[in-house]
Chains A and B, each alone.
Chain A
Amino acid sequence: MTGHLPGNPGYGDAELDGVVSTAMSGILAKLEAAFDPAAGLADIYARRAASSTGSSRLAAACDQIDLLNDWLANVVRSGQRDPIGGSSYLDLARDNLVQLRAGVASRTMTMHEARQLTRDIDDQLRQADRILRSLHGTTLDQLAGGHPRSGGTLTEQARAVREMVARLYEPGGHDLAFAPAR
């Protein structure tokens, strides 16, 4: 900043302008002297790379949530043909999966909220499994069978959702701090 600060041209208060101008020019000169452009640009490109990695993690987590939701939908549909106990818990788990996916995908969900949702989903799957065992003598994994896009059991895929979502909130994840709308 140099010269007169606009805003009160009639006063001619050169002293105020001089004090502010000298101080702000001094700060700028010091920042410039300490500035290492090469290091700064390297940091920016590293941030970009980390951001890309974070986006990949987010995409993988969303794919995993979709896979589990799809699998649970198959189980619920099979229950409509041959009613099974515990299907209401599976519906609740699916609702929570939809909510979890929307929250992480939009990067507006806090870590606390995501943890709570994944805990709720685990709890609902456990309840469904408990009812299936007591009423039908089978487990949720046995009822769910296999999934064309998955090699593991449904319980293992649910655990994978929990772990992948938790990783999003680690440093270098997808930075789920509230992002102001632009």
Chain B
Amino acid sequence: MGGELTSSQNGARNAGFEAVYRAERSKLIRYLMSVGVSQHQADDAVQAAFARACECWDTIRQPRAWLYKVALRESYRVQVSQARREIPAGDALPEAAAEPDTGYLVVLNEEEELVRAALAALPDRQRQVMALTIAGFSPAEIAGELGCAPAAVRQNQVRARDNLARQLGIDRRRNR
């Protein structure tokens, strides 16, 4: 019985989990959108990540970092799962191409869409670094997350900023 939670411990556990959900859910969706995941897939992946977190909430020591990592992995799973539903295994290819994701949770304005698309178009590592930077992680935290040195994170930040400025048509030389 020693491993079971009392009802008050359960209540505190649920309250903690739900507070993190309320605080982080939208930020996680924005993070996945900024690495190029569609809104609906991002929403699905974030819900799945929180469902997994809920199962093992007591064992997660750094919930925020854990959620960002698992949500990204869940987004890969959601994309694979969707592709598997669209293409029957072992059978002929579907007659028509899969329909694009046309549903929206929210409608972005032109500037928001431009920035989101510019972020999504960055090379992989720059995109990951920028998405985590925007999410508020420090270079040291990003380095831990991506398994590289903080110096490499800063270098990717510089390159990503150069690329973003170019894509967004911002002439940074005049600012130097």
Contacts and interface: CB of A to CB of B under 8 A. Distances in A.
Tell me the dominant secondary structure on chain B's binding face: helix
Tell me the dominant secondary structure on chain A's binding face: helix
Contacts of B25: 35, 37, 40
B98 interface: no
Interface in A39-81: 40-41, 43-45, 47-48, 51
Interface in B55-112: 55, 70, 73, 76-77, 80-81, 84, 89-90, 105-109, 111-112
A24 B18 contact: no
Contacts of A45: 54
Interface residues of B, number: 52
Interface string A110-141: 11100100000000000000000000000000
Given A26-B109, A44-B47, A110-B89, A20 B55 contact: no
In this complex, which of B135, B164, B165 has the most chain A Cβ atoms within 10 angstroms of its Cβ?
B165
Interface stretch (A1-9, A143-151, A160-168): A1-9
Size category, A interface: 35 or more
B51 interface: yes
B22 A37 contact: yes
Contact of B134 (A5, A16, A40, A179): A5
A95 B83 CA distance: 31
B30 A31 contact: yes
Interface of B: 18, 21-22, 25-27, 29-30, 33-34, 47-48, 50-51, 54-55, 70, 73, 76-77, 80-81, 84, 89-90, 105-109, 111-112, 114-116, 133-136, 139, 154, 157-158, 160-161, 164-165, 168, 170, 172, 175-176
Interface of A: 1, 5-8, 11-16, 19-20, 22-24, 26-28, 30-35, 37, 40-41, 43-45, 47-48, 51, 110-112, 115, 175, 177-180, 182
